[in-house]
Amino acid sequence: MKEEGILRNFHPFAKLIALVLIMFSSFLVVFFVGILAATLFFDLPSLYEIIEGNIILDSDELISFNKFNQTISHIGLFIVPSIIFAWLIGGRVARYLQINIKPDLRQVFIGICLVFISLPLINFLLHINMQLSLPGFLEPLEKWMVSTEKAAEKITHQFLSVSSLQGLLLNIVIIAVIPAIGEEFIFRGALLNIFKQWTKNTHIAVWITAIIFSTIHFQFFGFLPRLFLGALFGYFVVFSGTIWIAIIAHFINNAAAVTAFYLYHNEILDIQLEEIGKGTAGTYLVVLSTLLVILLLFAMWKIGKIKKNETIYP
């Protein structure tokens, strides 16, 4: 018997509204439950001060609380809503989110290679992004964007500034494992499916999802490189038919950044990923990176097409 969820026959716009409402409700519930639980383990100011955000990260305990807070917020905003939404669509959650299909190892390898090969191109997009400025009448908005970016950079630095292997592994879980699962479930799982149904065009759906993915991070001076990554992960799902390659690539991308910061911060290796593609040979690396990205994406698409034909005509 075919399972029918209450949202299955809704218009895509109604599904989108439902997803947003589920995300908002889930975030509030998980956040407040998490905050109440945190008061049992952390020596924190009053609950009112926590909710109002009147906390300055000036101690290891408050930084630990902030990591805990980010973890539960991410679970409440991305992981739980995507599962609930997939269930309300009907059928198996794993099938809707495309986690029931085993990835092809060749495509997994290509996806991992693309994360590193695209670094010069990503850094070039970051450079362009940093040069952009808003018109004069939007100067207050631009000042707010700059201050928001600086605040986010400060928090990120506090998060990543650890000196132990245990701290590094914890950061990888918080910044790489959980976001790779949660963000891919929402963006390349739920949202990509909604926009594919709505637009009837896979490419438009991939790029709309990538725009939302980049915007929701509220790091405006990294919009273009994150837009590129969002589209890249979207095509991984489209070409492979499974979300696992996007999850793996997302994890590798974030884990590499966390590990590189750890090595540089602790003076183990002089490595800065954001410097790759700059300097005298930068232009050549960007061109080469772009060509290899196109070539490898074509290879992933070709493998997916051959596998699909083999499934249809065994």
Is the Cβ–Cβ distance between 120 and 282 less than 8 Å?
Answer: yes
Over pLDDT 70: what percentage of the chain? Answer: 89
- Reported confidence tier of residue 59, pLDDT bands at 50, 70, 90: low
Q: Identify the pLDDT of residue 57.
A: 45
Please tell me the distance from the alpha carbon of residue 283 to that of residue 102, in angstroms, as a whole number. 38
Say which DSSP state 53 is in: T
Residue 65 pLDDT: 78
Domain range list for the chain:
1-96, 100-312
Confidence of residue 252 (pLDDT cuts 50, 70, 90): very high
Tokens linked to 207: 């790029």
pLDDT in tens, 130-141: 887 777 777 787
pLDDT score of 1: 43
Residue 30 in this model has a pLDDT that exceeds 80: yes
Q: What one-character DSSP code corresponds to residue 94? A: H
Indicate whether 295 pLDDT > 80: yes
In this structure, the number of other CB atoms found within 10 A of the CB of residue 207 comes to 18
CB atoms within 10 A of CB 33: 12
- How long a stretch of residues is the chain? 314
Answer whether residue 314 shows pLDDT above 60.
Answer: no
- pLDDT band with cut points at 50, 70 and 90 for residue 156: confident
Q: What is residue 198's three-state secondary structure?
A: helix
Give tens-digit pLDDT for 99-154.
Answer: 998 999 999 999 999 999 999 999 999 989 988 777 777 778 778 777 777 777 77
pTM, two decimal places: 0.89
282: left (phi over 0), alpha (psi -120 to 50) or beta: alpha
**Where does residue 2 fall: left (phi above 0), alpha (psi -120 to 50 degrees), or beta otherwise?**
beta
In contact, 63 and 158? CB cutoff 8 Å: yes
CA torsion sign, 117 to 120 to 125 to 126?
A: positive
**Model confidence at 55: pLDDT above 70:** no
